[in-house]
Amino acid sequence: MWVQKIGAVLMGMLMLGGQAVPVFAQEATTPETYSDGMFTFAYVDGGVALYSVETTAISVSIPEDTDGRKIVEISDGAFYGCSSLQSVTIGGNVKSIGKSAFAGCSSLAKISVPDNVQTIGENAFSGCTALSTVELPDNLTEIPDGMCYFCPLLENINYPASLERIGTEAFYNCYLLPSPEFPEGLKTLGDYAFAFCGNITDADLPSTTESLGSAVFFGCEGLTEFTIPARTLDLGSLVFLGCTGIGIYLVIKSSVRLRLLRELEQVLGYL
């Protein structure tokens, strides 16, 4: 069966459970595809990509190959809106997971990304409202923008030792997410990366941190202490807006300290 998908890569807004979630549509190109019933595949360099799946799928195991071709990618939006999907196993030849690949899979509770996966696209798991556990590959260097945007039940995730960047809104409104254990080597946290993560109580940034985006911890009402290292020179605005519980902080740079003192005075009203 030959399948066509039309549209453009859009980032609109879809109201899901009262929360704004990115809307996805695939690129306005028609790749050559074929189907085996459950999956539709598209030809790509080095093998095939899993292009789409039946939206009624409940449990999916992605094989390593199909018809003698390696399955090397999960395409943008491949599982988008599969609201019945409860479990998925990713095959050993998959190297990349596309944008919004599992977005809106509202019954998916756990996903384990194997070490063969090298990159994950933006908003890959956004709007997975039942998702509680994400296991990331050890060699991952970037958590992309919006990866777990509005995953309010997320409470178990690892931060790989190779991690260098956490993207914009990566964990926006992941309310149950506990205090992160950032690895040495992390350099950048994007805008709103942990906004409205109310269960975070402390944020000890590693000595390698160079850049903090705007409102990184916006609305983290449980946050009581943080440390910003000397290397952090690029500091966004309103980093701790809405963090009304802050009582202990350590800033090892005088210029950054003065700026944060002004912001904390606005947040807490007494410095």
The residue with greater pLDDT, 250 or 64, is 64
**pLDDT at site 238:** 83
The residue with greater pLDDT, 152 or 18, is 152
**pLDDT at site 52:** 95
What are the angstrom distances between the C-alpha of 150 and each of 12, 37, 64, 82, 128? 15, 32, 30, 16, 7
Question: What does the pLDDT look like over 89-139, one tens digit per residue?
Answer: 999 999 999 999 999 999 999 999 999 999 999 999 999 999 999 999 999
Q: What predicted TM-score, i.e. pTM, was given to this entire model?
A: 0.85
Give the tokens for residue 221. Answer: 């009402």
In three-state form (DSSP H/G/I as H, E/B as E, the rest C), the secondary structure along the chain is: CCCCCCCCCCCEEEEECCEEEEECCCCCCCCCEEECCCEEEEEECCEEEEEEECCCCCEEECCCEECCEEEEEECCCCCCCCCCCCEEECCCCCCEECCCCCCCCCCCCEEECCCCCCEECCCCCCCCCCCCEEECCCCCCEECCCCCCCCCCCCEECCCCCCCEECCCCCCCCCCCCCCCCCCCCCEECCCCCCCCCCCCEEECCCCCCEECCCCCCCCCCCCEEEECCCCCEECCCCCCCCCCCCEEEECCHHHHHHHHHHHHHHHCCC
pLDDT at residue 257 is higher than 90: no
Question: What does the pLDDT look like over 26-69, one tens digit per residue?
Answer: 555 778 999 988 899 999 999 999 999 998 999 999 999 999 99
Q: Please list, in sequence order, all residues whose beta carbon lies within 8 angstroms of the beta carbon of residue 27, skipping any fewer than 6 positions away.
A: 7, 8, 9, 76
Question: What does the pLDDT look like over 166-219, one tens digit per residue?
Answer: 999 999 999 999 999 999 999 999 999 999 999 999 998 999 999 999 999 999
CA-to-CA distance for 114 and 142, rounded, in angstroms?
Answer: 15
Q: Residue 110: beta bridge partners?
A: 133
**pLDDT at site 236:** 83
**pLDDT at site 9:** 31
